[in-house]
Structure 1
Amino acid sequence: MKEEKIIVPANGYLMLFVFLIIFFGSIISAIATQSPEFIMIIPIAIIIAPGFIMVQPNGSRVLLLFGKYVGTVKKNGFYWVNPFYTKKKISLRASNFDSERLKVNDKLGNPIMISTILVWRVKNTYKAAFDVDNYENFVRVQTDAAVRKLASMYPYDNFADEGVDEDITLRSSVNEVSTALEKEIDERLSIAGIEVLEARIGYLAYAQEIANAMLKRQQATAIVAARHKIVEGAVSMVEMAIEQLNKKEVVNLDEERKAAMVSNLMVVLCGDKDASPVLNTGTLSH
């Protein structure tokens, strides 16, 4: 037997009625007839008693007879089985697992802290009970291993100065990374009959020893990008100003004065602080 076998045992209420009749009937008969032979029937009731099982919704019982797998009871209800069966309870409910924060290296070798939130449940009770030693511990260990592998496959973020231009990063590609993580964990847990319902990164940050340096790096990258946009806009505005002045013939500028105007406009448009105007009350040359 290598696969899960679903069985439906005998009705527990009927066997409970039989148990009560045998147990109390033998006692009443022994008292009424003053015959101790009826007491000998009580052990039969005692043997019957361990066979009662109750299966709650989204619960199961794996049954074994002297080490041989008999079947799994998944339908909720009150049942009676062979008293010599070993009855192992396995929950079929969805469970949450919030892993510890692991220190791993991303694709670029940067140390990061990462954790995952996993939603899982048992799908195959035979594999969960017999193919692994402890399926709950198996989930924890394999999830940590999958997270370590995933972190090494992608960079934390893109950095232009390193020539890194990855389409998928741990920080920005949440859906893609979660899909890859879910697939990786599902492949690892399938051996234990575990179904992965959802896998998401719960925590992601640079390790403490490089966190400050990486924060400054991100800020510098953002400043450079902002400056780039400002310069592009300033050049466009200067071109438009010169074009309009020439078109409307407001003033005739030679190349030297045009260069001076361009320089002044670029300083005004690209500067961090407001410009302080200087009034010229003389001619253009002085």
Structure 2
Amino acid sequence: MKETKAFQVNGFIGVLLIALFAGGGVFMLVQQSLPIAVPLLLVAVALASGITVVQPNQAIVVTFFGRYLGSIRDSGLFLTVPLSYRRSVSLRVRNFNSKRLKVNDVDGNPIEIAAVIVFKVVDSAKAVFDVDNYEAFVEIQSETAIRHVATKYPYDTFENVELTLRGNAEEVSSELTTELQDRLDVAGVKVIEARLTHLAYSTEIAQAMLQRQQASAIISARKKIVEGAVGMAQMALQQLEENNTIELDEERKVQMVNNLLVAIVSEKATQPVINTGTLY
């Protein structure tokens, strides 16, 4: 199915025609001319059945004895095909908040995920005739797309990978929008935006994953501290040698580097030991 424009006439002109036919029929009834009065009144009733009101951001799908005649998108009062069946379809932008779905990411970790889908109907004929209930169709396909995208990526990673659900929300949302649009084209629905609203580990592994994240953060911080400490020790030795402040043998250099590393890396404040010399 593809949306087409239905026959429509300005509704005020239609009301005027109905009034003229009805008035003529009544006049002929007064004149006792039934052969003319009855057809005029029937035409007035038939035209009255074609009067329809279209609200802003609404489409009226017109069918005549099971045949699709077209849709009316313009808002206002219109006269369309008499004795036709008309169904309204909202063209407004709407939100759909999915439930919190429990799925496994690509690593098999159970996670909870939810998203909000912003969509609108762009083809009223497809929305009415190609799917049974387009609103329910959007809901089911949205949850299916969310599950599919969630299983393609890890929730988080401590290795160098391209995409993760937690670290690349924009890319994941873009892929979710694209996949969802492919699924909803058949219903005449345009996906304006799809974004994750909830993302977390499932309760049964949340504590273990938190400990893992904390351990990773501690290791990363320690690595940075050690790198900085080594650099500072190298810089101290280099400046001492360049300024000829003091000459150290290899053993003294090792001891000095060891002391610097301990002082910088240690979590607690170090207590200096002052060497005042020897007795001999």
Q: Give distance in 1, aligned partners of 2:125 and 2:31.
A: 51
* Displacement of 1:256: 2.8
CA distance in 2, matches of 1:24, 1:210: 79
Question: Given the alignment, which residue of 193, 204, 221 partners 1:209?
Answer: 204
Give, in angstroms, the shift of residue 255 of structure 1: 2.9
- Mapped pair 1:245 → 2:240: yes
Aligned position for 1:168: 163
Matches within 5 A, 1:1-286: 2-23=1-22, 33=30, 44-160=43-159, 165-283=160-278
TM-score normalized by the length of structure 1: 0.88
Gaps of 5+ in 2: none
Single out whichever of 262-271 and 16-25 deviates more from structure 2: 16-25
Q: Does the Cα contact within 8 Å between 1:93 and 1:121 map onto a contact in 2?
A: yes
**Residues of 1 paired with 2:252 and 2:24: CA distance?**
120
- Alignment partners' CA distance in 2, 1:21 and 1:6: 28
Q: Could you tell me whether the CA contact under 8 Å between 1:8 and 1:75 is conserved in 2?
A: no
Q: Is residue 113–residue 200 contact of structure 2 (8 Å, CA) maintained in 1?
A: yes
Shift of 1:46: 3.8
Does the CA contact (< 8 Å) of 1:122 and 1:195 recur in 2? yes
Deviation at 1:248, TM superposition (A): 3.0
More divergent stretch after superposition (252-261 vs 191-200): 252-261
Q: Distance in 1 between matches of 2:227 and 2:24?
A: 99
What is the one-letter code of the residue matched to 1:5? T
How far does the alpha carbon of each residue in 1:223-243 deviate from its partner, in whole angstroms, 9 at most, with x for none? 211111111110011111122
1:153 counterpart SS class: coil
1:5-47 CA-partner distances (Å, limit 9, x unpaired): 11241221112123234446655776xx496959856565444
TM-score for the superposition, normalised by structure 2? 0.90
Task: State the distance in 2 between where 1:48 and 1:4 align.
Answer: 24
Paired with 2:41 and 2:62, the residues of 1 have a C-alpha distance of 26
Contact 1:6–1:71 at 8 Å: present in 2 too?
yes
C-alpha RMSD of the superposition: 2.4
The one-letter code sitting in structure 1 at the alignment partner of 2:252 is R
Q: Distance in 1 between matches of 2:236 and 2:17?
A: 102
Paired amino acid for 1:74: R
Instruction: Give the letter for the 2:198 counterpart.
Output: Y
- The separation in 2 between residues aligned to 1:50 and 1:100, in whole angstroms, is 43
CA shift, 1:51, in A, is 1.6
The alpha carbon displacement at 1:4 in A equals: 1.9
Letter in structure 2 aligned against 1:114: I
Q: What does the per-residue CA deviation read over 1:204-260, in whole Å, with 9 as the maximum and x for residues that have no partner?
A: 111112122212211221221111111111001111112222333333333333222
Q: After alignment, is 8-17 or 150-159 more displaced?
A: 8-17
Tell me, in whole angstroms, the C-alpha distance in 2 between the residues paired with 1:281 and 1:62.
Answer: 99
Q: Distance in 2 between matches of 1:237 and 1:114?
A: 45
Identity level (%): 44
Please state whether the residue corresponding to 2:92 is helix, strand or coil.
coil
